[in-house]
Each structure stands twice: as structure tokens, then as C-alpha cells.
Amino acid sequence: MITSDELLEKKGVRPTAMRLLVYKYLAKSHVALTLTDIENAFAKADRTTLFRTLKIFEKKGVVHQIDDGTGIKKYALCEPDCNCELEQDLHLHFHCARCNETVCLTEHKIPHINLPEGFVVEDANVVLKGLCDKCSEK
Amino acid sequence: MITSDELLEKKGVRPTAMRLLVYKYLAKSHVALTLTDIENAFAKADRTTLFRTLKIFEKKGVVHQIDDGTGIKKYALCEPDCNCELEQDLHLHFHCARCNETVCLTEHKIPHINLPEGFVVEDANVVLKGLCDKCSEK
DNA sequence: AAAATAAATGCACTTCCGTTGCATGGGCAT
DNA sequence: ATGCCCATGCAACGGAAGTGCATTTATTTT
């Protein structure tokens, strides 16, 4: 089992104390987190540091950014062997209108879609919205 | 052929001068527009009025809001017989990374996706990103 | 037609989030 | 120990969404 430390190294991110904390916090969460979520989790950390941490995580393929339509960016860890590539790695997301949580549906990859001549697809964002499993049973 | 005036009436939106202008401007555009786009098109109009115009248009099913991942809300006219319902009306959108324009792919409806037990899907947002037909040929 | 009511508009202001510039600090290499 | 690079922290900015309230415009009632 690879340690968080080693994983960050492998991805080309210097594993500082703060970065490790953020990484572990993301790993522990089953939902996508906003910058503010993370900020609240570590009262001592500066917003900018966290912002830049997420930015470098994203650039180095540690996390992927999720746009769930709330207008606020969320982040979730990439899967172990992820390259953030279309139809291979990119998966659907589900945003619950009630609890406002967004989860990765990692089992559901983005389906292939045929577009008109001339359109070159490089990336995709698919978000389903409604009630999540926890909220629909209430 | 129904006039813009009549259409707004039919949708339950009182057709003021400003609203008609906004409606026609949206109708003329082949791309989704931001509030700022519209603001720039009508120098005399107040931002708030336009904001609320779009809000009521959306509520009454005149336009649909598009979240293309840029973080800025865009708007486009609904199709004539649209009820903004999943798998019937909701279509894909394409956002061009070069020209930053977002177009409706009205021919491409959102495909059905089977989710795990408990998830109730009510809405969906699918945005493909890459190069549009105009930008890819350059 | 005038008065009363309701709706739309315009202005000012706030909030929230993302982002950048710059100064400081800490760790690593020479 | 010195210098350098990178990470961090503080302050501030900017864009966009949204709200409150006063004013104007339109519609309904008398």
C-alpha cells in the first residue's frame, strides 16, 4: 500500500505537511469538496495556500475539478490509475438538490457521443441532478 | 408565425419593450449568451433589469440556463415545444475552448443513464468541450 | 378619467468566490 | 553558512450573482 507521501511524490507534488493534510482530507471524504469546505476543516490554513494546493493537485493529476452547476468549484481525488482522459477516466457526477452534496459516479464513464463534422471533443462534464440515495429515502 | 410578443404572452411573461429586445437578441444569437453579453448589447439597459428578465424567462420556460464550466451562466432560448424535461427536451451543449462560445446541440438529447438504487434523477447537465467547427478548421 | 393597485425598472450596495501580487519563511543544495 | 527555490501568508482586487428599496410604468378598479 502506497503512502500519501509517496503518492504525492510520484505525481510530482512536493509533499508538504499542509498538502498531506489536504490530500488525506480529500481521501477521507466520499463527496466532492469546495475550497471553503477544506478551509473550514483546517482553521489554521490560509485560503490562498489551499487554493494553490488544489491548483497544483489538479495540474499534477491528483484531483479533478467538478463543476456541478452550483457555481462553486468542487474537488475530488482522482482514481488511482486516472489520467483524466475522456471515455477512459472521466466519469459522471451526481449533485443532490437537497443536501447539496456531489458525488463521483466512478463506475459510470462518459458515454461516447457523435458530433457533427468539425467538432473536436477533448473534455466533457456530465452532472446528473436530483435526490441522492440518502435524501430520497426520507 | 407567432410574434415574439405573442410568444411571451403565451409563456406568461408580460412583453415589455425591454423584454422583447432581450428575447429578440437571444433569438438572433446562435450561441448562448451571458448576462454581460446582453448588457453590452443594450448600453442603456440596467444590469439588474436584464438579470431579472433572464430570471423570469428561465422560470417561465422561455430560456434555459447553461453552465458550461466557465463559471459564468449563459442563456439560450428554449426550443418551441420545450418543457425542459429530461430525455425529451434537455440537450447537450458544446463549449469551445478557443473562442469560448457555447452552442446548443439541440439534436443531441441527454442519453438515459442507469444509476444505483436510491438516486432520483430530475435534471442533467452535459457539456462537451473542445474545438468547435469554426475553430478546428483554422 | 381618476384613484388604487400591481408590476417592472433603476440605483446602490453587498456578498461570495476565485485569483493575483508581494513579502516572508523554511528546506535543500552548493 | 550562503544562496536559491518553492511554499506560505497577508492583503487586496475583480467579476458575477443577488438583494433592498425607491421610483416609474402599466393595469385594474371605482
Q: Are strands A102-109 and A91-96 parallel, antiparallel or unpaired?
A: antiparallel
Q: What percentage of residues in chain A have a pLDDT greater than 90?
A: 91
pLDDT number for residue B68: 97
What's the pLDDT tens digit per position in B8-33?
A: 999 999 999 999 999 999 999 999 99
Distance in Å, residue A45 CA to nucleotide C24 C1': 16
Q: Does nucleic acid strand D have an atom less than 7 angstroms from the CB of B18?
A: no
Which pLDDT band, with edges at 50, 70 and 90, does B138 fall under?
A: confident
pLDDT value at A137 more than 90: no
Domain range for residue A11? 4-136
Angle at alpha carbon of residue B102, lines to B31 and B137, rounded to 5°: 95
Q: Is the CB of A102 under 7 A from strand C?
A: no
Strand D positions within 7 A of protein Cβ atoms = 6-12, 15-20, 26-27
- DSSP code string of B81-106: T----TTTT-EEEEEETTT--EEEEE
- Domain count along chain B: 1
Q: Is the CB of B127 under 7 A from strand D?
A: no
Confidence at residue A34, expressed as pLDDT on a 0 to 100 scale: 98
Chain B segment 68-97 residues within 8 A of A by beta carbon are 69, 71, 73, 92, 94, 97
CATH, residue A49: 1.10.10.10
pLDDT over threshold 80, residue A138: no
Q: Residue A43's pLDDT band (boundaries 50, 70, 90)?
A: confident
Q: How confident is the model at residue A125 (pLDDT cuts 50, 70, 90)?
A: very high
Q: Chain A: give the shortest CA distance to residue B81, in Å.
A: 23
Residue B123 near chain A (CB below 8 Å): yes
Task: Name the grid cell of A96.
Answer: 443532490
Confidence category of residue B102, pLDDT binned at 50, 70, 90 = very high
Q: Report if CB A114 to strand D is under 7 Å.
A: no
Q: Which residues of B fall within a CB distance of 8 Å from A99?
A: none
pLDDT of res. A94: 98
